[in-house]
Amino acid sequence: MYTPPLARLIEQLQRLPGVGPKTAQRLALHILKRPEVEIQALANALVEAKKKVGLCQVCFHFSAEPICEICRNQNRDQETICVVADARDVIALEKTREYRGKYHVLGGVISPMDGIGPEQLYIQALVKRVAQNQIKEVILAISPTVEGETTTLYIGQLLKPFTKVTRIAFGLPMGGDLEYADEVTLARALEGRRELE
């Protein structure tokens, strides 16, 4: 149906999240119509981002530096850490402009079905971080799915000996995703956080 280089392009595009066969075909045909210099810039941006962006050594958010901008920012509250599953959640929370503390990105949630146990996530690093620093509060902001709840309770138990642990109050339906909550909902959820029992 497609000449081989085009078939390969479509195949690669289709590996991206949210891109089905139709979208992949549309994107591929669009790419073929654009000037080569523009497509070269796209290819360069892909490779450069992949090469240069790593994880912050402190919070595991994406960063082009060993320590990310949020961790380096002295104007932020150093004694509060908000724990999230994914880097997308940091971006969502930053958009609310309500939160001025630090973050810790777990890199996922505990999910035995998918073979993800606590050791696959940055949980030990979090415990160490909380134990070794003056932390007044850890806010758990993990989506209330079954796996998210397991993760929240697990981390809560580990951190309670060291500091106050709260969880954000989701106005979201059970299973709702942090990423899809609008800014107002998320800001309210943060404001209405309560101490983990």
Q: Does 68 bind Zn ion (CB under 5 A)?
A: yes
105 phi and psi, to 5 degrees? -95, 125
CA 73/CA 88 separation, integer angstroms: 20
DSSP 123-178: HHHHHHHHHHS--SEEEE----SHHHHHHHHHHHHHHTTTSEEEE----SPTT--G
Q: Which is nearer to Zn ion, 70 or 187 (CB)?
A: 70
Q: How far apart are CA 10 and CA 127, in angstroms?
A: 43
> What is the token pair recorded at 43?
């290819």
- How many whole angstroms separate alpha carbon 113 and alpha carbon 123? 19
**In the bound complex, what is the minimum distance in angstroms from residue 95's beta carbon to Zn ion?**
17
| Least distance in angstroms from the C-beta of 86 to Zn ion | 14
Of 56 and 81, which CB lies nearer to Zn ion in the complex structure? 56
Choose which of 9, 24, 28, 58 interacts with Zn ion (CB under 5 A): 58
Pick 28 or 140: Cβ nearer Zn ion: 140
Task: Work out which of 59, 140, 141, 196 binds Zn ion, going by CB under 5 A.
Answer: 59
**According to CB under 5 A, which residues from 37 to 56 bind Zn ion?**
56
The single residue among 10, 24, 71, 178 that binds Zn ion, judged by CB under 5 A, is 71
* Shortest Å, Cβ 55 to Zn ion: 8
Q: Which residues bind Zn ion (CB under 5 A)?
A: 56, 58-59, 61, 68, 71
